Chain A
Amino acid sequence: MITLQNIEKVYRTSSIETLALNNININIRKGEFVSIMGPSGCGKSTLLNIMGLLDEPSKGSVAIAGQPVKSYRDKELAALRNQKIGFIFQSFHLINDLSVLDNVEIPLLYRPANGKSRLDHAKEALEKVGLSNRMKHFPRQLSGGQKQRVAIARAIVGNPEIILADEPTGNLDSAMGNEIMSILQSLNDDGATIIMVTHDESMAKKTHRLIRLFDGTQVGDSLLQGVAGAGREWQGASMPSVQTLPSTPKL
């Protein structure tokens, strides 16, 4: 579903140069639920941004759904993001001046669709996250967990094959976090490929596969749970199996 080859990302500012990602090779298959862990600043968000075509790698190649991303032309990227990818963020990123329903409709505004079908899809997506009764509410009237559910509805409203979630439970208490997690799991059961950055070991354990980053380098890629045996083949046979690395933020 997503293939990254020899990805390198360097941030250059006038004074410093940061190597945020170094020689990353990842192949994510259709239907996988992958978690990415690593200390703060190790490049997880950068990796997700590159997968989500929000950022261009300094080196290496990206392929989404079998199609290599050749040109980083704005129009094509925007269309790919819109059709193939749903985003979920730690801080929800809801637009406070729009109702829940209007927030969820946004991705559909960037593709040809009439108002009626937009409304139907948005309602359907809200139903999936159990928020049909909050459609007319505004974000400020919702709890953190509810906000994240709205964000999930917004991510799935366009029926994308891939969902990228950057610490979706990071701002939530564990009960709400679990709620979000089970929604993601059921989306995955329905066929969505999900890549989730998390700091929470217990959340990561609920996914199929765990990729660990450290200082911009991939240091681990392991299958979790029973699903590992399901005839999957990993790219790069030399990939180390489960490694124990610091997963808590280091100073």
Chain B
Amino acid sequence: MLTHLFKLMWNKKRTHTLLIVEIIASFLVLFGVTSLIVFNLRNYQEPIGFAYENVWTLNFNARDQPDSTVGEVMQRVKERIQTYPQVESTTLFSSNAPYTMNMSNGDVTNGNARTLSNQYRTDLDMAKTLNVPVLEGRWFNKSDESADVRTMVINTPLKEALFGDEPALGKQITFGGPGDKHKKEDYFTIVGVIGNFKTQGEYMTNAPGLFQLNKGEARSYTRTALIKVKPGTDASFEAQLTKDLGMLTKDWNIEVSYMENQRQSTHNITLVPVTIFLIISGFLLINVALGLFGVLNVSITKRRSEIGLRRALGATGNGISKQFVGEIWVLATFGLLIGLLFAVQFPLMNVFDLKADVYITAIVLSVVVIYLIVTLCAVFPSRQAAEIQPAVALHEE
């Protein structure tokens, strides 16, 4: 029966061109949306790797203050913050701190492999303040502070990218690619490995990242203070804090945000476009479904005598019903095969640098949804077809 339906639909392909094109189009749109959703969901499943609860972000804008003094002032700011009983812990962080929109990245190599990595600068208290577990080795400590010590802490994605399954502790890495000329003193020794560190939040890819200690000149790079306050600390403390710190920093500008709020706005950056895309494609699919439904209804009215004939030759009403659903599956299959030709290019050519399995999952999901939609559209008309009385249908013409 299936071959029969394939032949029938193949011979009718001209009359169904529009339908097939619609199926191809809706498959591709669906593929786009599901790729996006699968990608974001995959990311969402990867933990962010730090705790944002009760963390305040204080951004210091030093205006035209020379870098040489900024480092000094920031150090005093940190010390001051630590004196409040409301504060559990605080850390200074580079401008690409969690849930800011800033990025800072570059190539990193261990001499063989190369990968793009986020680069963070922070201090001894980061792991504690953001509750980042150290999986191997240790977080920075006093021993890393002397000028001639060159150490780094990396996250697991960076470890995997550079070392695969090999241990990373004690290994040397540096900036740039494996082909570049590196002096021995350009290298940093890895002293610790943390898990994930997704500064842009849940929907960010679990990207490689490395941490350097802010010492010496680099102290001026860390102009963001992350403060873990005790639960229940309220805005009056915020007012007091900014007032006190304002005296220390004079004409600097201080901007306070709660990491929980920042997190929400970063989520919206991902969720809003996805939702819009989803709504648009939803309407598109409804449109296609209605079109399909109409076409099917018309085609069944046109084919009454064929239905009568098939009944006379031994088809049951149910059999007729199944035939029409089968036909629409065959049509959907034609459309999907063509759509797949396009869709498989994405994983094959590694478009947008997404993992192949994101695309493959999206393809599978889209195929399932298309079959579901066409089936839903076919159910009612094919029931109607089953109701047609053979004696009556054969009589007309």
Contact = CB atoms under 8 A, between A and B. Distances in A.
A45 B397 CA distance: 14
B397 A91 contact: yes
Contacts of A102: 4, 7-8
Interface in A126-170: 138, 154, 158
B299 to A, nearest CB: 12
Given A78-B319, A102-B4, A55 B313 contact: no
B314 A98 contact: no
Contacts of A54: 311-312, 390-391, 394
Nearest to A82: B314
A111 interface: yes
B11 interface: yes
B394 A75 contact: no
A241 B173 CA distance: 113
Interface string B1-27: 101100110011000000000000000
Contact of B312 (A74, A87, A91): A87
Interface in A48-91: 49, 52, 54-55, 74-75, 78-79, 81-83, 87, 89, 91
Contacts of B200: none
Interface string B381-396: 0000000011100110
A62 B92 CA distance: 96
A79 B315 CA distance: 8
B309 interface: yes
B3 A115 contact: yes
Contacts of A81: 311-314
Contacts of A75: 316, 318
A203 B236 CA distance: 109
Interface string B306-344: 101111111111110000000000000000000000000
Q: Quick one: which of B306, B314, B390, B391 has the most chain A CB within 10 A? A: B314
A106 B310 contact: yes
Contacts of B311: 54, 78, 81
Contacts of A97: 8, 11-12
Given A45-B395, A54-B391, A74 B11 contact: no
B110 interface: no
Contacts, number: 73
Interface residues of B, number: 27
Nearest to A94: B309
Contacts of A83: 314
A194 B272 CA distance: 72
Nearest to B5: A109
A205 interface: no
A73 B243 CA distance: 89
Q: Quick one: which of B12, B305, B311, B390 has the most chain A CB within 10 A? A: B390
A9 B87 CA distance: 95
Contact of A87 (B1, B313, B319, B397): B313
A95 B397 contact: no
B347 to A, nearest CB: 36
A98 B7 contact: yes
Interface string A170-213: 00000000000000000000000000000000000000000000
B397 A109 contact: no
A106 B391 CA distance: 18
A105 interface: yes
A74 B391 contact: no
A123 to B, nearest CB: 16
A95 B309 contact: yes
B305 A110 contact: no
A110 B315 contact: yes
A83 B314 CA distance: 8
A107 interface: yes
A44 B116 CA distance: 85
Contacts of A95: 8, 306, 309
A188 B1 CA distance: 31
Contact of B316 (A78, A105, A107): A78
Contacts of A52: 312
Interface string B136-159: 000000000000000000000000
A46 B395 CA distance: 10
B312 to A, nearest CB: 5
Given A45-B395, A95-B306, A110 B313 contact: yes
A111 B397 contact: no
A6 to B, nearest CB: 20
Contacts of B391: 46, 49, 54-55
Contact of A98 (B8, B315, B319, B397): B8
Given A93-B305, A97-B8, A107-B314, 11 more contacts: A78-B315, A78-B316, A79-B314, A87-B313, A89-B309, A98-B11, A105-B4, A106-B4, A109-B1, A115-B3, A158-B314
30 contacts: A49-B391, A54-B390, A55-B389, A74-B316, A74-B317, A74-B318, A78-B314, A78-B319, A79-B314, A81-B313, A87-B309, A87-B312, A89-B394, A91-B305, A91-B397, A93-B305, A95-B8, A95-B309, A97-B11, A98-B7, A98-B8, A99-B7, A102-B7, A106-B310, A107-B313, A109-B4, A110-B310, A110-B313, A138-B11, A154-B313
Interface of B: 1, 3-4, 7-8, 11-12, 305-306, 308-319, 389-391, 394-395, 397
CB-based closest 9 A-B pairs: A82-B314, A110-B314, A55-B391, A97-B11, A78-B316, A49-B391, A54-B391, A93-B309, A107-B313
